[in-house]
Amino acid sequence: MQKRWLSMASVLTAIALVAAACGGGGTSGTTSTPGASGSGAAATTAAATTGEIIIASDLPTSGADASSGLPTQNGAAFALSQTTSYKGIKFTFKPFDDTVNGVHDPQKGAQNVQQMLSDPKVVAMVGPFNSNVARAEIPIANQGQLAMMSPSNTNECLTQTFPYCDPQPAALRPTGKNNYFRIAAPDTVQGPAMADYILNTLKLTKVAVFSDNETFGKGVADNFVKRLTAKGGTLTNRSDFDWKTTNDFKPFINDAKAKGAQVIYAGATSATKACIVRSQMTGILDVPFTGPDGIGDDQCLKDSGSNTANMYFTNAAGDAGQNPDAASTVAAFKQAYPKASDLGAYTFPAYDCAFILIDAVKRAIDAAGGKVPTRQQVIDAVQSTSGLKGTVGTYAFDANGDPKSATMAFWASKGTPAAWVFQSQFSVGQ
Amino acid sequence: MVSSVANARARLVAGSRGRLLNGTLFALIAIALVILATKVATNGPAYFIQIVVYGLANGSIFALIALGYTMVYGIVELINFAHGDVFTLGGFISLWLLPIFGVTEGGTVTGAGLILPLLAILVISMILCAVVNVTIERVAYRPLRHAPRLTPLITAVGMSFVLEGIMFLWRGPFNLHYPNVLPATSIELGGANGPAIGFKDVAVIVIAVVLMVALTLFVERTKLGKAMRATAQDRDAAELMGIDINRTIAATFFIGALLAGAGGMIFGLYYNTITFDQGFTAGLVAFTAAVFGGIGNIQGAALGGLVIGMIQSLSDGYFDTAWTQVLIFAILVLVLVFRPTGILGMRVPEK
């Protein structure tokens, strides 16, 4: 008797599930705007039965990029290990890797987002790490109403409209609604910040600039040059390398030397050979070497060989060590991740990204009456974040998804063996 | 009759298209030369000499790789696509041996103390590369010696991927840092602002020249060298005269890989960076150098390597790295159109 009752119940459940699935599909099929209510409701139904939400991450965590990607992933993973559930709903962390052959890859990133969208439990993601990956991911995540929160994307064209942007930010958001947020200061701040640092702190004026010709590298170099020349500095020479085929940077270095360059600025990352240039400068040109956050890792110090002195980089996020309120979080992290290479310049920014998302999801759960919220509800909750204190900043977002105030920090290589040491930081209002 | 008229017309059209293409390439190179001349004039002679020195060093490395292509083609008429990867392998093996021999960047072994370990590493890397190349020949090319031409070409491409895959698995996909152990000293000509000829530049050029002279002497003076030349000229006749063809061909692969292995180590020491797939581009450029000088011709490969290295440095130094490949291959097309046998002429058997 009891057995029969059970089987009947299961049959009924199956019928109900099929009906729900068909209903969801039908609604979104007939609505012209892609499922703001229809598919969202279906997702809620499916997810509510399990009572679990997933916050994913998409970062480059293998190959050359792992030196910056893994420490970043650690930050997000640690934040989610601190909050495992809310009102009976389980929180899970699911990391994705966007490298192909060890280098971050926009197509791989886009595939990862597709995969996240196919899982109704995924309501938000931390990442991506690289601006060109973001450019490929935003339109896909946008159509699936997935909130993205990047600790390190700095390309200004991801959020702000400038005449030179291609594509324009609006083209990245087919639904017309924003789903992309970041906490890093854009390159319109990062490039100029180093220009100011060179002119005012290092007191040098003649700069040779190269870039890896990628979205990030070329963009930050362009912004650097604009500020440098506007403030009375001189650009001695500039090269935009095809980093995959170029191994000989000596002609560029000699050109810089012949034209009296006092500093080199690298619009590149350590994965795109930025610090090989530093190594090849040995014995030819002994001047400081500066760059964006992309050179601020161990790989760069290794690549520079014995020529590690006098290197500087800007970090588009603050240093958790400067915030006394974050001391206990930093200590707990170090206990959970004891290796020195576990911690990078973007570990705590990524921690904050996950922290903001967790906070937003909690508020969205409250707003949904204790149930699993829809993806759009999560986006709305992120957008309304205000005055939230993280380890490296206090967060609120403008309509573009940019932080209302961001921190820019300067780091320098010090000592033997060389290590990156925090120098100073300042806040930038947008 | 009708068809032959149509053919003639087709040839005429193709010919005029060809002339148009050549005209465009000539114009491109002429413009490049004019811009180069003005840029050389404005940047002064010191910078020019500096760029020429880099060109010679670049070219020496290309020449070392090109020699292997040209020797193998001369003897079995096969483009050994795995050759570029054997070159990379030389860099990887030497990178692995450096710490074993106690040579590290900023380490205790410096100055004259470096000579012995570096020479030992060079010799071991060269021999290991040669052994790998001979193995490739034995496994992938020899069984196919009488197969259609396309077959060993495909196995060559396959071996290239196999080698790249092995190096990828061994050290990963990174741009590896190759220790900068050679002294950074340089001779400054004409004061601090004059061109500086670095120890590294000189070392690269000297090692390459020594190896190339040794190779030429070997091919011209020794019995095995004579056997190689005979095999290249007419394999069947050589066999009838009692030459062990298999041994001679294996020796050719061995010597070609010795030079490529040396090239790999020199490349690492000179540029301080090495990637598992760098052999692909470097191999293509070196193959171009071999064709440029006249494939099958040893002096031609050396000359071709130097010329292409020079073009690369001049383009990198005065234009932009983005133009380098365009210029190299534009010049290649022109040379082949007007001298299909390369600058010094092909040395292939007449049949």
Q: Which of A212, A254, A286 to mutate to test the interface with B (most CBs of B within 10 A)?
A: A254
B106 to A250: CB separation less than 8 angstroms, yes or no: no
Out of A143-147, A159-163, A380-384, B42-46, pick the least confident.
Answer: B42-46
Q: How far apart are the first and last CA of chain A?
A: 69
Write out the two tokens for A5. 């009752």
- Is the pLDDT score of A40 beyond 70? no
Q: Which of B180, B186, B271 sits opposite A248 (nearest CB)?
A: B271
How many CB pairs below 8 Å do chains A and B form together? 96
DSSP three-state, residue B270: helix
* B6 lies in some domain: no
Residue type, A420: W
The DSSP code for B61 is H
Q: Is the dihedral of CA A178, A179, A184, A187 positive or negative?
A: negative
CA gap A172, A149 in Å, rounded: 15
Tell me, yes or no, whether B8 lies in a domain. Answer: no
> What is the Cα–Cα distance from B226 to B211, expressed in whole angstroms?
19
**Cα-Cα end-to-end distance for chain B:** 32
Contact in structure between B246 and B134 (CB atoms under 8 Å): no
Q: Is there a domain that residue B227 lies in? A: yes
Cα–Cα distance, B316 to A274 (Å, whole number): 17
Q: Does the distance separating the beta carbons of A283 and B272 come in below 8 Å?
A: no
Backbone angles phi, psi at B177, to 5 degrees: -85, 125
Helices (H), ranges, B188-297: 199-221, 223-233, 235-240, 245-271, 278-293
**Residues forming a β-bridge with B273:** B177
Over 90: is that where the pLDDT of A284 sits?
no
**B2 domain residue, yes or no:** no
Q: Which residue has the tokens 């040109």?
A: A285
Predicted local distance difference test score (pLDDT) of residue B326:
84
* pLDDT for residue B346: 65
Pairing between strand A263-267 and A289-291?
Answer: parallel
**Residue numbers in B near A103 (CB within 8 A):** 173
B2-76 vs B278-293: helix crossing angle, rounded to 10: 110
Sites in chain B below the pLDDT cut of 70: 1-18, 190-193, 346-351
pLDDT recorded at residue B246: 93
Out of B51, B174, B186, closest to residue A283 by CB: B186
Better-predicted residue by pLDDT, B21 or A93: A93
A246 to chain B, closest Cα gap in Å: 7
Residues A32 and A223: their CA atoms lie apart, in Å, by: 41
| Pick from A64, A241, A284: CB nearest B196 | A284
B186 domain-assigned = yes
Mean pLDDT of A304-310: 86
Which of these, B246, B248, B219, B221, lies nearest to B347 by C-alpha position? B219
Interface mutation vs chain A, best among B43, B50, B108, B174, most A CBs within 10 Å: B174
How many residues make up chain A in this entry?
430
The pLDDT of residue B155 is: 94
For the ranges A280-289, A380-389, B61-70, B189-198, the lowest mean pLDDT is seen at B189-198
CA gap A66, A104 in Å, rounded: 9
Radius of gyration of chain A, Cα coordinates, nearest whole angstrom? 23
If interface means Cβ-Cβ distance under 8 Å, which residues of chain B face chain A?
43-44, 46-47, 50-51, 54, 58, 105-106, 168, 172-175, 177, 179-180, 184-186, 193, 196, 198, 267, 271-273, 278, 281, 312-313, 316-317, 320-322, 325
Domain containing residue B108: 47-338
Angle in degrees, CA B241, B246, B251, rounded to 5: 105
Percent of chain A whose predicted confidence (pLDDT) is above 70: 88
C-alpha angle A155-A160-A165 in degrees, rounded to nearest 5: 70
Q: What number is the average pLDDT over the span A323-344?
A: 90
Q: Is B243 helix (H, G, I), strand (E, B) or coil?
A: coil
Q: Measured between CA atoms, how close is B164 to chain A, in angstroms?
A: 12
The CATH number of whichever domain residue B116 belongs to comes to: 1.10.3470
User: Taking CA atoms, what residue in B is nearest to A247?
Assistant: B271
Dist. CA A322–CA A314, nearest whole Å: 16
pLDDT score at A249: 92
How many Å apart are CA B111 and CA A294, to the nearest integer? 35
Domains in chain A and their CATH numbers? 42-186+327-407 (3.40.50.2300), 188-315 (3.40.50.2300)
Q: Do A245 and B313 touch (CB under 8 A)?
A: no
User: What's the structural domain count of chain B?
Assistant: 1
**pLDDT tens string A219-261:** 899 999 999 999 999 999 999 998 888 888 988 998 898 889 9
SS3 assignment, position A129: coil
Contact A276 B272 (CB under 8 A): yes
The tally of CA atoms less than 13 A away on the side-chain side of residue A349 is: 32
* Residue at B25 is within a domain: no
DSSP structure string for A295-362: G-SHHHHHHTTT--SSEEEEESS--GGG-GGGHHHHHHHHHHS-SGGG--TTHHHHHHHHHHHHHHHH
pLDDT of A429 > 70? The answer is: no
Cα dihedral A127/A133/A138/A143 (nearest 10): -100
Nearest-CA distance from B283 to chain A in Å? 12
User: Is A246:B42 a contact under the CB 8 Å cutoff?
Assistant: no
Tokens of B274: 């090495």
B249 inside domain = yes
Domain-located, residue B263: yes
How far apart (Å, rounded) are the C-alpha atoms in residues B124 and B334? Answer: 40
- Please report the pLDDT score of residue B184 as a whole number: 77
